[in-house]
Amino acid sequence: MSVVTDKLSPEDLLEESHLSDPLDYPRKRASIACEICRSRKSRCDGARPKCKLCTELGANCVYREPTLKIDAGDKLILDRLSQIETILQQRLVYTPTATPSPHAAVGQASPVIFSEEMQARLAHANLINGARVFVTNTPNPVTNVSAMPKSHSTPALHLLDWPVIKDLASKSSDPQVLMQLEMARTPLDLIPQTSIHALRQDLHLYSRSFFDGVNNWYAIVNPNNWHECLRAADKLEFKDGTESCMVLLVGALGAAAHSGSISYVQRSNRPPGLEYFCHAYSILPKLTLRNNVSSVQCHILAAAYLLYLVRPLEAWNLLCQASVKLQLLLAHPNVIQSDVGELIERVYWNTLLIESDLLAELDLPHSGIVHFEDNMSLPKVFPFDATDNAERQGKDDLWYFSAEINLRRLLNRVSHTIYADAFKPERSRPDDFLNLVGPTANELDSQLDQWYESLPAGLKFTRDRAAARDDTQTVLRLRYFACRTIIFRPYVRVVLADRWMANKEDVLDACRICLDACIRQIEDIPAHHAGHLPYLWQGVLSITSQTLLLMGATLSRPLRKLLPPQKQVDAMIQGVILEVERLSHLAPSLQRCAEILREAEDRRIEQLRTS
C-alpha cells in the first residue's frame, strides 16, 4: 500500500478539518490570492481554476499553499501526529517489494497489515498538515525509513550527553570527535616489502582461508569461477587487471582470517595480509577509472581489509568510490537482468551494509546508494554448471549475509524512528516523550522477534546463555541484543532524568529489557572475537556505549534494582575497560573510548563511595 495526496483549497481545508477533526483546533484565516495578484499587489477574487485578472491576462494562475500559524500547544499535537505517521510509514516500508528466493528470505519478517483504523489516523495526521490522503494498493512506500538518518543520536558518545552519565566524563562528546581523530591519524604504509613472486606460493592456502572464514561475512566472491580468475591473474603475473587485484585482495583477507584477530598481532610486526594489500592497492588506481562491477567488487574487498585493520575512515573513502560506480551501473534499466546481475546485487548490499555501519557511529556524508534499495531484491545463489568441468573453491553460503541485511535494515529503522534529531526527549516532558516512543519501540521489538523467528536452524542462536554453535551464531546473537538495547534505551534515559518515572510499571519493564540486553553483550567479552574481521571497530564502540549505559544505571536507585549484584556488575565493567584498553592502540577513536571509560569508572566508584 502507499499514500497519494491531493492538495486542498483553503476553503476545503477549513471545512474538512471542521468536519473530521475531533480536537478543537483554532480556525486561522488563510490567504487565497494567486501569485500574479500577489506580485501586482492587486485584489484577487480567488476564482478557480483562474481568477479574473489571470483570465484577462491569459496568465497561468497559481495559488500558494495555505499556511497556518500554530501555537506551542498545536505544535505538540502536530509532533505527536507526525510520530504516528512515521510508525505507519515504517509499517508500509517493511512490506517486501519483491519476492526473493528461499535463500534471500532469511531473517526477513512477515509483512505487516495496514489496518483501516491506522489508515484513518494517517489520513487525519496529513489533513492537519494541509493534504487529503487516500490509501491505495500500489506497493510504493511513502518514505524509506530503512536508511540511516542524516543526523541522529545513535552513536556511543552521545550517551555522554545523558543525565547522570554526563557527570562521569570530561572528554568531548561532540559527534565529530571520533571522525576528527581518525582523520588526523598516521597514514597507512603501503610500500610493499615482499615481492609478488614470494607471495604467490601462499595464495592457495589463503584462498582456502578466505572462502572458509571471510566470504561467509561478505558473500562477494564467486567460489564457482575462482580458479578461472586465479589463472587469469597468473597470466598477468598479478600486476594488472581486475583479476589480479581481486586475487591479491582475497589473499590479504585470507591471510587475515588465517592469522586471527589483529588485536593479537605484535605492534612491531606488519599486519597479516598487508603485503598482498599493498600490491593490490598499486593496481586499484587504474580500476578507479573503470565503471564495471568487477572494479566495484575490488573496492569493496579493499574496504573490507581496511576494516580488519581498524581504519574506518580509509574504508569509507574506498566505499564512496564503489558507491559512485555502482550508482552509474544501476542507472541502466536492464543491468540486474544481465549476466552479472547476481554479483551486482551482492556488491550493492555490501556497499549499503558497510556504509550503514559506519554512519551509525561517524558523522559522515551519505553516498546516495540507499536510494536504489527499494528496487533491489535480496541476493541469489551464484549459478553453477556441474557439467562444465568447473571447480568450486568453496561453498556459496548466503544464510548469514541475507540475515545480516535484514537486521541492518531494522537497525537503520531504529535510528530513523527513535534517534533522528527531530525525535529528542529533552524537547518534551517525559510523559509526552514516552507516549511517542512507546508504540514505536514496541513495534520495532516485534519486528526484531519476527526476524529472529524466521532464522533457519543453522543460524538460529539460543537467546539463553548456552554456547553458540559457531562464529556466525555468536555474531548474530550479539547484534540481536545490541538492537534490542538501543530500541529500549530511551526509557533508561527518561528514568535517569526523572527517577520517579520508574514508578510506572511499563517504564520499569522497558528498562529491565534494555539493561538485560545490555548485560548480555558485555558479560562475555571473548565472544566478540568471533566477529573480529568485519566488526572489531564497531564492536568496541558498541560495548563502550553499553558500558556507559550500565554505569549510569548503577548510579540510579530504581535502575540499580534491575541489575545483578554489584560485584558482578563491577567485574563486567572492569572486563570491558581492560579489553578496550588492550585494543586502544589499533585506532585513535578506540584510544578515546578507553580514556572515557577509565575516567568514567573512576568517577563512578567515587560517587558510589560517597553516596
Q: What is the pLDDT of residues 501-551, one digit of tens each?
A: 999 999 999 999 999 999 999 999 999 999 999 999 999 999 999 999 999
Within-domain flag for 407: yes
Which pLDDT band, with edges at 50, 70 and 90, does 451 fall under?
A: very high
462 by Cβ neighbours in 10 Å (0-12 / 13-18 / 19+) ranks as exposed
Write out the three cell numbers for 236.
598477468
| Same domain for 552 and 439 | yes
- Distance (Å, rounded) from C-alpha 299 to C-alpha 329? 15
Within-domain flag for 57: no
Within-domain flag for 341: yes
- Distance (Å, rounded) from C-alpha 596 to C-alpha 543? 13
Q: What is the mean pLDDT of residues 457-474?
A: 93
The answer to whether the CB of 118 falls within 8 A of the CB of 135 is: no
Residue with cell 567460489: 223
Within-domain flag for 462: yes
| Same domain for 548 and 409 | yes
| Same domain for 362 and 468 | no
Predicted TM-score (pTM) of the model is 0.77
pLDDT given for residue 113 in this prediction: 34
Count how many domains the chain has: 2
Which pLDDT band, with edges at 50, 70 and 90, does 418 fall under?
A: confident
Q: What is the pLDDT of residues 78-122, one digit of tens each?
A: 555 555 555 555 444 433 333 334 344 555 543 333 334 434 433
pLDDT given for residue 434 in this prediction: 75
Domain ends where: 349, 379, 409?
Answer: 379
Three-state secondary structure of 518-586? HHHHHCCHHHHHHHHHHHHHHHHHHHHHHHHHHHHHHCCHHHHCCCCCHHHHHHHHHHHHHHHHHHHHH
* Residue with more model confidence, 71 or 548: 548
| Same domain for 176 and 208 | no
| Residue 155 confidence (pLDDT) above 60 | yes
* Residue with more model confidence, 484 or 387: 484
Q: What is the largest CA-CA distance in the chain?
A: 87
Q: What is the mean pLDDT of residues 46-72?
A: 72
The answer to whether the CB of 427 falls within 8 A of the CB of 166 is: no
| Residue 470 confidence (pLDDT) above 60 | yes
Within-domain flag for 133: no
| Residue 63 confidence (pLDDT) above 90 | no
DSSP secondary structure letters along 238-306: TSSHHHHHHHHHHHHHHHHHHH--GGGS-TTSPPTTHHHHHHHHHHHHHHHT--SHHHHHHHHHHHHHH
The sign of the torsion formed by the CA atoms of 166, 171, 176, 179 equals negative
| Residue 29 confidence (pLDDT) above 50 | no
DSSP secondary structure letters along 475-506: HHHHHHHHHHHHHHHHHHHHHHH-GGGGGSHH
The sign of the torsion formed by the CA atoms of 182, 185, 189, 190 equals positive
Within-domain flag for 62: no
pLDDT given for residue 357 in this prediction: 93
Distances (CA, A) of 255 to 207, 229, 606: 8, 19, 46
| Same domain for 419 and 277 | no
Q: Give the alpha-carbon dihedral of 242, 247, 249, 255, to 10 degrees.
A: 180
Q: Torsions phi, psi of 34, nearest 5?
A: -75, 170
Q: What is the mean pLDDT of residues 432-451?
A: 87
The answer to whether the CB of 207 falls within 8 A of the CB of 254 is: yes
Q: Select the highest-mean-pLDDT range: 27-41, 130-144, 268-282.
A: 268-282
| Same domain for 218 and 165 | no
Residues of the domain holding 441: 156-183+400-610
| Same domain for 518 and 411 | yes
pLDDT given for residue 133 in this prediction: 30
262 torsion bin: left (phi>0), alpha (psi -120 to 50), beta (else): alpha
Q: How large a percentage of the chain has pLDDT more than 90?
A: 55
In this structure, which amino acid lies at residue 438? G
Q: Torsions phi, psi of 468, nearest 5?
A: -75, 155
Within-domain flag for 17: no
| Same domain for 177 and 241 | no
Residue 187: how many CB atoms within 10 A of its CB? Answer: 7
| Residue 212 confidence (pLDDT) above 50 | yes
| Same domain for 516 and 579 | yes
DSSP secondary structure letters along 354-371: HHHHHHTTS-----SGGG
Strands (E), 111-196: 131-136
Q: How large a percentage of the chain has pLDDT more than 70?
A: 78
Whole-number average pLDDT of the chain: 81
Domain ends where: 320, 347, 379?
Answer: 379
200 by Cβ neighbours in 10 Å (0-12 / 13-18 / 19+) ranks as middle
- Distance (Å, rounded) from C-alpha 261 to C-alpha 583? 11
Q: What is the mean pLDDT of residues 344-358?
A: 94
| Same domain for 453 and 407 | yes
Q: Select the highest-mean-pLDDT range: 154-158, 368-372, 471-475.
A: 471-475
| Helix, strand, coil in percent for the chain, rounding step 5 | 65, 5, 35
| Same domain for 190 and 174 | no
Which pLDDT band, with edges at 50, 70 and 90, does 576 fall under?
A: very high
Within-domain flag for 131: no
Which pLDDT band, with edges at 50, 70 and 90, does 437 fall under?
A: confident
The least confident of 54-68, 104-118, 445-459 is: 104-118
pLDDT given for residue 291 in this prediction: 87
Q: What is the mean pLDDT of residues 22-31?
A: 41
| Same domain for 219 and 336 | yes
Which pLDDT band, with edges at 50, 70 and 90, does 394 fall under?
A: confident
The answer to whether the CB of 587 falls within 8 A of the CB of 311 is: yes
